[in-house]
Amino acid sequence: MQVSTKWDGDVRFKATTGTGFEVMMDGEQKQGARPMEMMLMGVAGCSSYDVVGILKKTRQDVVDCVAEVEAQRADAVPAVFTKIHIKFIVSGRNIKEKHVERAVHLSADEYCSASIMLKAAGVEVTHSYEIIEVE
């Protein structure tokens, strides 16, 4: 896996993934995502990928999954994450709660590399979920 960043003036950096996608990051001017926000997006994407995949394997009729992530950072420099909470909002038809609970647990404890790596670094990572029935 590989990425690169190129300075784009002020405190902006254009990040390019090894697969060719570009993302603008900005430290202050609100012209792109902040780097620490990018880390949270990575955790949200990684864990959501797991949850949806696991639910699909159990033949759950998932139509949407949103991961809302809230984080707290240390007051001192470096302002590392101290707590991260990921809430999954799973929408679908006849979704079984036991399957959602299991999918969230498996992602948190076995599959999501990003979340597990942060936990290993001492970040308190917690999870919750909500199920929304759709017609």
Q: What CATH number does residue 6 fall under?
A: 2.20.25
- How many structural domains compose the chain? 2
Q: Domain containing 126 — which CATH number?
A: 3.30.300.20
The pLDDT of residue 27 is 86
**112 with 51, same domain?**
yes
Q: Which residues of 85-117 are buried (b: 16+ CB within 10 A; e: fewer)?
A: ebebebbbeebeeebbeebbeebbeebbebbbe
**54 with 89, same domain?**
yes
**61 with 95, same domain?**
yes
pTM score over 0.75: yes
| Helices 35-57 and 113-120, axial angle in degrees (round to 10) | 130
Domain of residue 109 covers 35-133
Give me the residues of the chain with pLDDT under 70, please: none
The share of the chain scoring above pLDDT 90, in percent, equals 96
**14 with 39, same domain?**
no
User: Which residues face 71 on adjacent strands?
Assistant: 84
Contact 26, 18 (CB under 8 A): no
Contact 43, 118 (CB under 8 A): yes
Average pLDDT, the chain: 96
**128 with 72, same domain?**
yes
